[in-house]
Chain A
Amino acid sequence: MLQPKLKSKVRCTDLDIGEVSKVVLDPLSHEISHIVVSMNGSGERQIDMTQVQDVTDDLVHLKSPSREILALPPFKRDDYVTTHEVEISHLEDNIHVTPGEVLVPLPDLEKSVKRRTFFMNFTHVIGFLIGLPIAYPILRFLMKPMYAEFDNQWLAVGNVSKIKNEDVGVQFEYKKKVKEAYMPEYEVEKNVWLVRATPDLLEKVYQGKDEEFRDAKGYVIWTNKKEIPFIAFSGKCPHLGCAFKWRNHKALGPVFLCPCHLSIYNAAGKVLDGPAPRALDPLPVRVSASGEVEIIDMEFKAGTKSQIRIV
């Protein structure tokens, strides 16, 4: 690529006609497309680079005679913007028209600095020494409330007289007191589903074995006896944690149905249809002589095959 320089003389086939006053860059190819020649007092002309025969250090040879150049229309400055006024990246990458390098002297103090790499690494080490001791406290700071002890209190949820039929899901709503960190104690509404089971259904749920509930250390905190006809299911769907309902399904009859992702369970809590990975979660339940129902409010991780208690 020809690199005409500014101030270079421009020579036609017959005589010198002036000097290069500007160069024009093509915005697409980023190469010099034209030179602008200042014609010794006869204005400026724009000359296509295809007209340029040869470029030396201080001379641009044109292919045409001077009268042809003079016959060109005058250069129109208003049709152009400078490279300062337009956003075309890499525009000047290919252009070496500066008549030499532009230099600034190095400050005296910088001249004798030898250990630049050392100082560079030193800043990294200092940054690391600042960052490292703060990283762990930040992590602990944010993790503070993440893990809580299980609460194994019995909560009264209502009276079994509310249950009219066997093998039917009945929702019991109850309030649970919550004390979270600095917040004043407040009550949240929760719900649990109770089923008064026929012996058939009991067999399906317990399969001949009592169900034990253990605390975090593995001690048994309660056992649901297989002959007690009351089953309590946690209100949280084991698929993704929505709340399911007791509904009449067209094909499957009365079932537990989760409106979120349409998991369907029978009265024994077993999955009949939908994406749920496991049966409904039975909770520890006890019923007093007068019919008052109490449960231990537990929550299990949704979406897993096995029960993993989180509350």
Chain B
Amino acid sequence: MDIKHSSPAVIPDHQPSAIEKLVAFLDERVGLKEMQAKMLNEPIPGGSRWAYVFGSILLFIFAMQALTGVLLMFYYVPTADHAYDSTQYIIHDVDYGWFLLSYHFWGSSAMVVCVVAHMSQVFLWGAYKKPRELLWLVGLALFGIVITFGFTGYLLPWDQRAFWATTVGVEILDKTPVIGDFIARFLKGGPTPGQMTLSRFFVLHVMILPAALMALAGLHLFLFRVAAPAGPYSGTKEEIKAKTDYFFPRQIWKDMVGMAFVFVGTCVLALWEPVVLLDQAAPDPGDYHPEPEWYFLFYFQLLRLKIFSGEFGQFLGAVALPVLFMILLVALPFFDKDPERNIFKRPIALISWIAIMVVIVLFTVASVINREFLD
């Protein structure tokens, strides 16, 4: 097939500028224009939507976390005797250190919120179904990485909050049958949290997880492009075709607005509620009541339930429940083979999603209410 578009040679009506020459030079060697065209000209069946912005926003948040994270490493020292002091130095002495640290802190919350929104959108739109099973699986792996990012990053300031979240979090992993003890010791680098734990979490947080996230996000995007966007869950072929447009400009415009919104939101949170450290980490919490970050609060509250008491109950709550939930998500596109994507024609899916969200909200609220009964 004659795939080369044989347009007549363009006769320039002016001398090319230096920049145009440079672009032409690069284009000849790299194929920039074709690459750019391919990136921007991706048909979005049924047209752009606000519901599709979360993937791009997540990429943006990651870029900002990488930027602020690298900057924090200019001053941060990952040792038990300096981690706390160096973080305090960033907050109190380095110009705008408080802001960059707080942005990084709230950025992680934004990341978790947008991951859940992204997964919800894909779930509600039935976009995980054939032929997008692998895309969904890689997405789940990325979800795991984001959660692990939050967990490992939480220890690094080495204050009481950090120490206790890690202590309890690792104890939860310890409940895994057979290999639990090994996993817990492996992560802690010993029987109790200390320097080795800090080193390990640091390496995970700044080397292993970013590398894994970049690789898997690349794979995620590649699979997304191979499978093509799923488009809306209702409408005839003709209707969808009539509304179809390219990624650029309408979807990119919506994505940019979303990113700007997240950026402003994160800045506002960083200004409003900048990070303040508690006392330095110690196995004696003093008056501090250990609590995980807000997005883990529902699970924290869940583990207070009577059915999760005792050794077996703890296994149920700490291991069986989260593992079963993940297995369910992994298996989802393989047992849900009904090609119907309209969420209003998938009552089980809709009810499950609502139930999960209600449980998360209720238990989060319950844990907040519980706070005042503790003092």
Binding site for B on A (CB under 8 A): 6, 21-23, 27-28, 77, 81-89, 92, 95, 97-98, 142-143, 145-148, 173, 178, 180-181, 183-184, 186, 188-191, 235-236, 239-243, 259-262, 274-277, 299, 301-305, 310-311
Pairwise interchain contact A23-B1, C-beta atoms closer than 8 A: yes
Checking A23, A183, A276 against B79 with a beta-carbon cut-off of 8 angstroms, the contacting residue is: A183
Q: Which residues of B contact A28 (CB under 8 A)?
A: 45, 237, 240-241
Q: Are A275 and B41 in contact (CB under 8 A)?
A: no
With known contacts A184-B81, A240-B303, A311-B192, A86–B282 Cβ distance under 8 A: no
Q: What are 17 inter-chain pairs, A to B, with CB distance below 8 A?
A: A6-B1, A28-B237, A83-B3, A84-B38, A86-B43, A181-B196, A186-B81, A189-B283, A190-B282, A243-B290, A259-B290, A260-B291, A261-B300, A262-B304, A277-B309, A277-B310, A303-B175
Given contacts A86-B42, A183-B81, A189-B284, contact A148 B191 (CB under 8 A): yes
CB-CB nearest in chain A for B306: A275
Check if B225 is an interface residue, CB within 8 A of chain A: yes
Please list the 6 inter-chain residue pairs (A to B) with the smallest Cβ-Cβ separation, ordered nearest first.
Answer: A275-B309, A259-B289, A85-B37, A146-B185, A189-B284, A87-B42
Contact A188 B282 (CB under 8 A): yes
B194 within 8 A of A: yes
Of chain B, the residue at the smallest CB distance from A86 is B41
Decide yes or no whether B190 CB sits under 8 A from chain A. Answer: yes
Q: Which residues of A contact B309 (CB under 8 A)?
A: 274-277
Bound Cα distance from A21 to B188, whole angstroms: 68
B residues within 8 A CB of A145?
189-190, 196
Bound-complex Cα distance A145 to B193 (A): 11
Are the CB atoms of A95 and B290 closer together than 8 Å?
Answer: no
Residues of chain A lying within 8 A (CB to CB) of residue B192: 299, 310-311
**Given A28-B45, A86-B41, A173-B284, do A311 and B168 touch, yes or no (CB 8 Å)?**
no
Least CB distance from B141 to A in Å reads 22
Number of CB contacts from chain A to chain B under 8 A? 169
Minimum Cβ distance to chain B for residue A289 (Å): 28
Q: Are B186 and A146 closer than 8 Å at their CB atoms? A: yes
Q: Closest CB-CB distance, A1 to chain B, in whole Å?
A: 15
Which chain B residues border A142 with CB–CB below 8 Å? Answer: 186
20 more CB-based (< 8 A) A-B contacts, given A89-B226, A242-B168, A260-B291: A21-B2, A22-B2, A28-B240, A82-B3, A82-B4, A84-B34, A84-B38, A85-B5, A85-B41, A88-B42, A98-B1, A146-B191, A184-B81, A188-B283, A240-B171, A243-B283, A243-B290, A274-B309, A302-B171, A303-B314
- B47 on the interface (CB 8 Å rule)? no
Name which residue of chain B comes closest to A299, CB basis: B192
Residues of A within 8 A of B109 (CB): none
Which of B185, B237, B309 has its CB near the most chain A CB atoms (within 10 A)? B309
Q: Are A190 and B43 in contact (CB under 8 A)?
A: no
Chain B, residue nearest A302 (CB): B171
B15 at the binding interface (Cβ < 8 Å): no
Query: How far is B318's CA from A311's CA once the two chains are assembled, in angstroms?
Result: 23
Chain B: residues with CB nearer than 8 A to chain A?
1-5, 7, 34, 37-39, 41-43, 45, 79-81, 164, 167-168, 171-172, 174-175, 181-182, 185-186, 188-192, 194-196, 225-228, 237, 240-241, 244, 246, 282-285, 289-291, 300, 303-306, 308-311, 313-314, 317-318, 370, 374
Question: Are A27 and B43 in contact (CB-based, < 8 A)?
Answer: yes
A4 to chain B, nearest CB (A): 11
The CB with the most chain A CB atoms within 10 A, among B34, B45, B192, is that of B192
Say whether B38 contacts A85, CB under 8 Å: yes
Contact assessment for B185 and A189 in the assembled complex, using a CB-CB cutoff below 8 Å? no
Report A-chain residues with C-beta under 8 Å of the C-beta of B167: 241-242
Tell whether A87 pairs with B306 under 8 Å between CB atoms, given A259-B289, A301-B174: no
Among A6, A28, A186, which residue has the most Cβ atoms of chain B within 10 A? A28
Contact residues in B for A22 (Cβ distance below 8 Å): 2
